Structures are given as structure tokens and as C-alpha cells.
Amino acid sequence: MEKLSLQYIVREPNNRTEKTSLLILLHGYGSNEEDLFSFATELPEDLIIISARAPQSLGFGSYSWYTINFTASQGKFSDIPEAIAARDLIADFIDEIQESYKIAPTKTFLLGFSQGTILSYAVALSYPEKVQKIIALSGYINAELLPKNIDTKDYTKLDFFISHGSADQVIPVEWANKAPKFLNELHIKNCYQEYPVGHGVAPKNFFDFKNWIEERL
């Protein structure tokens, strides 16, 4: 494992071709790089799959990208300065991985789950030149993590697959389904799907985003 900004695990194709693309995985709060990496064996062979570990240890093999605070008065809320720092750390990591594997942004996919999705939105909308195809699972757009000059950014090459569980007990589906309207207003290509599950990825959801990736390889 090369020493970069973040620890990661990787699956490389047996043979690289002109179609070989890069898929970077960002896990959710309290998980680790092994979680989403379980998808790797079922995804197209012609992908370099990188699963990154979030920088904050919660102990017992659990990690987070930024702190989520819990108080009686304010309920659950995110540490925004930490989240912005995580966004920029991931952006730097993407640069490093693209350089290391000689893969262009046009051939880079970013897949997040939950907290990883919140940051995937933030990275793509802050740095659209770094990554162009985003799979956003069980998350939402946090406007506090977006750039102030959002109206002047070039989003013409961005493309989102968004999905959420209609019975999600962790992140309400109402938070997620605001994303298409937000992206449409910026003329960003996107598709949105809901599945009858909680905070997780249903088999049909996996099949749908796998097809979405295959269509873009």
C-alpha cells in the first residue's frame, strides 16, 4: 500500500485497457474501508477499485470522516469545519490516486455511502474538475459544505446516480430526495431511485448502480 493522504485498499484489473476506469469508495460513519469493498468482486473487472479509510478513529475498527455531535438541546449535528477539512482531504487523495494510477478525471467514479455520500456531493460540487461520475447512496447534500461560488462552477460533465431507502431511519428520505431539484437547478445530470429498505443498500439498488457504472465505462 502506497503512503498517501488516506489509508486504502485496492483491487486492480488483471489487464488494463483503454476502458480501465477508477472507482473510489467512501464508507459511512462508524465503518471502515472493508465495508464497501465487499462490492468489489461483483463490479466490472475493468475498474481499479480504491476503498479509503476515514481519518478519525472511533475505536474497534470504526472510523469517521468528521464528528457527529449528539446533545439534548440540538439533537444530532455535524462538525462543519471538520467536514470541510475532510472534503478537501478527499479531494487531495483523489489527485494522488489519479496520478499514481495514471487515470484521468473523465474516467473517475466516486461512490459514497451515508457520511461518505455527503462528502461525495461536497467534493464533486466543490471540485468538478477532479471527479465526474458520482454514486450517492443513502446520503444528502449539506449546503454548508458547498462552495460560495457555486453558480460560477462548470458542472457540465457531472453525472449522479442517487439512491435512498424509503424506510431509512438514520437519514430521512426527505433529506435525500431534495438532491434532484438542487442538481437540476444547476443543470447537472442525475437520476434518483428509492428502494423499500432502511439505511442500507438493497440488492436491486446494487444491480441498478452497477448497470449505471457499466453504461459509463
Does the pLDDT value for residue 31 go beyond 70?
yes
Instruction: Quote the CA–CA distance of 164 and 1 in Å, as a whole number.
Output: 33
> Is residue 202 within 8 Å of 170, Cβ to Cβ?
no
Does the pLDDT value for residue 163 go beyond 90?
yes
Does the pLDDT value for residue 1 go beyond 50?
no
pLDDT of residue 73: 56
Does the pLDDT value for residue 74 go beyond 90?
no
Does the pLDDT value for residue 10 go beyond 70?
yes
Mean per-residue pLDDT for 143-159? 95
Mean per-residue pLDDT for 206-216? 98
pLDDT of residue 184: 97
pLDDT of residue 54: 98
pLDDT of residue 153: 95
Question: Domain map of the chain by residue range?
Answer: 8-216
> Is residue 155 within 8 Å of 188, Cβ to Cβ?
yes
Instruction: Quote the CA–CA distance of 123 and 153 in Å, as a whole number.
Output: 13
Give which of 165, 106, 162 is closest to 131, Cα–Cα: 106
DSSP state of 140: -
> Is residue 113 within 8 Å of 28, Cβ to Cβ?
yes
Instruction: Quote the CA–CA distance of 186 and 180 in Å, as a whole number.
Output: 10
Domain 8-216: homologous superfamily in CATH = Alpha/Beta hydrolase fold, catalytic domain (3.40.50.1820)
Hey, what's the cell of 92? 487531495
Q: Is 66 helix (H, G, I), strand (E, B) or coil?
A: coil
Mean per-residue pLDDT for 32-56? 96
Does the pLDDT value for residue 70 go beyond 70?
no
16, 58, 173 from 113: Cα distances, Å:
27, 18, 14
